[in-house]
Amino acid sequence: MNTQTVFEEDKEYIAGTYRRFPVAFQSGEGAVLTDAEGKRYLDFGSGIAVNIFGVNDEAWKQAVIAQVNQIQHTSNLYYTQPQVELAKLLCEKTGAKQVFFGNRGAEANECAIKVARKYSSDRYGAGRHEIVTLKNSFHGRTIATLSATGQEAFHRYFGPFLEGFSYAEPNLASTLSCMTDKTCAVMIELVQGESGVRKLDEDYVKALERVCRERDILLIVDEVQTGNGRTGYLYAYEAYGIAPDIVTTAKGLGGGLPLGACMLFAKTEQVLGPGAHGSTFGGNPVACAGAVSILSRLDEPLFLEVRGKSAYLRALLSKIGGVEEVTGMGLMIGLALKEKKAADVAAKCLEKGLLVLTAHERVRLLPPLTVTKDEIDAAVKILSEVIGA
């Protein structure tokens, strides 16, 4: 099929939910993707924070192939070794007590919402079910996670949404004013990804943790995007020095296969029992075998490398005349622009062979964690040309 046919038949046969860039990729290596015509692109999006070690990652590929050669799926009525291995690794690396596996970020967050409500129902009876989230948050596309998402634009067409969510500004006064005696949880992203790569204030997050603990309100941290080394830490909450009750993750964890995890810490470990939750594909052995390969390579030397590359990249970006502000953490970076529109910049970068993302009115960069200094230099050169003075 030639590329033009792919574009046309996509338009004809696929529900029109995506505003796609006009390119169809065929292969790649590391941070370089190649389209059907052989044109090469530098990938500063990683499939939205998924391909941590780039494409064609040999170790992940071998782990996946080995599992495919054994068994591809069994259902959660039976035990599988890769699922247990991955859960154990996650718990050992984070201090979580137990893990529930789903297939994506939204599903991990659905699980977190259910656990928070059940925790509260077990302890306090029905009715204490409210959850406070933040304005400009993004927690997923299912009805419950859309309800949790604090953006008006997502609260159209599909109502009625779930009741019991309120949306605070990212400061303590606003969050306190959203809490009632029915609040069972607060859910936050430490760096809000989809709404512009905005990092939460450390004092606010620490104070929020204290208030939650005092009132037995669960603190849920959505690390679907910030997790798995992206911010220069295994999970961003470590950088904040807090101890959440539930941490959700997905995107980078599966190395390119669908996988989400809801990590339950001391308070929440016994909440889910037989029949309380489930997923046909969740914790699929192939996805888990790949994730074990990913997670076991996420270590301190890599995090130091990520922080170093981040500092180097940010310093270069802040010198570009048309850039107003560089935000974010680790290799999750936002660019506020003085005049140019983020969408125009992304389209121009594509023409010049650089893939970048947008997040609201900002350019968003999420390169593979293994991106090289030369690749960073090449990307910055294109961004400077496009954004200009």
**Residue 110 makes contact with ligand PLP by CB under 6 A:** no
Name the segment binding ligand PLP (CB under 6 A); options: 86-94, 137-145, 232-240, 298-306.
Answer: 137-145
Dihedral, CA of residue 266, residue 296, residue 252 and residue 139, to nearest 10: 0
366 near ligand PLP, judged by CB under 6 A: no
Among 45, 54, 140, 334, binds ligand PLP (CB under 6 A): 140
Q: Which pair of structure tokens corresponds to residue 267?
A: 């308070």
Q: CA–CA separation, 346 vs 352, rounded Å?
A: 10
User: Distance between CA atoms of 107 and 116, rounded to whole angstroms?
Assistant: 14
Residue closest to 94 by CA, chosen among 106, 82, 86, 105: 86
Residue nearer to ligand PLP on the CB measure, 109 or 293: 109
99-107, 128-136, 155-163, 291-299 -> range binding ligand PLP (CB under 6 A): 99-107
Least distance (Å) between residue 373 CB and ligand PLP? 27
Residue from 104, 129, 230, 297 in contact with ligand PLP (CB under 6 A)? 104
Specify the stretch interacting with ligand PLP by CB under 6 A; choose among 32-40, 74-82, 188-196, 330-338: 188-196
Choosing from 30, 54, 105, 282, the residue that interacts with ligand PLP (CB under 6 A) is: 105
User: 299-338 mask for ligand PLP (x: CB under 6 A)?
Assistant: ----------------------------------------
Number of residues that bind ligand PLP (CB under 6 A): 15
The reply on whether position 364 binds ligand PLP by CB under 6 A is no
Binding residue (CB under 6 A) for ligand PLP from 44, 101, 119, 138: 138
284 binding ligand PLP? (CB under 6 A): no
CA distances from 209 to 77, 131, 142 (A): 37, 15, 27
Q: What one-letter code names the amino acid at 237?
A: Y
Instruction: Please report how close the Cβ of residue 189 comes to ligand PLP at its closest, in angstroms.
Output: 5
Exposed, middle or buried by CB within 10 Å (0-12, 13-18, 19+), for 298? buried
Question: Which residues neighbour 25 within 8 Å (Cβ) at sequence distance 6 or greater?
Answer: 33, 34, 35, 36, 41
For residue 351, count other CB atoms closer than 10 A to its CB.
Answer: 10
The residue type at 247: V
Q: Minimum Å distance from CB 230 to ligand PLP?
A: 10
Strand blocks (E) in the chain: 25-29, 32-35, 40-43, 98-102, 130-134, 165-168, 183-188, 191-192, 198-199, 218-222, 246-249, 260-264, 323-329, 332-337, 354-355, 357-359, 362-365
Q: Point out which span in 27-35, 166-174, 187-195, 342-350 binds ligand PLP (CB under 6 A).
A: 187-195
Helix, strand and coil in the chain, % to nearest 5: 40, 20, 40
Stretch that binds ligand PLP, among 220-228, 239-247, 270-278, 294-302 (CB under 6 A): 220-228
Amino acid at 77: L
- Does the protein bind ligand PLP through residue 250 (CB under 6 A)? yes
Stretch touching ligand PLP by CB under 6 A, among 222-230, 331-339, 359-367, 378-386: 222-230
Q: Is 224 in the site for ligand PLP (CB under 6 A)?
A: yes
The correct pick among 195, 225, 310, 370 for binding ligand PLP (CB under 6 A) is 225
The nearest distance, CB 198 to ligand PLP, in angstroms, is 12
CB-facing half-sphere around the CA of 220: CA atoms within 13 A: 29
Amino acid 153 reads A
Of 203, 245, 209, nearest to 94 (Cα)?
245
User: Rule CB under 6 A: which residues touch ligand PLP?
Assistant: 104-106, 109, 138-140, 189, 193-194, 222, 224-225, 250-251
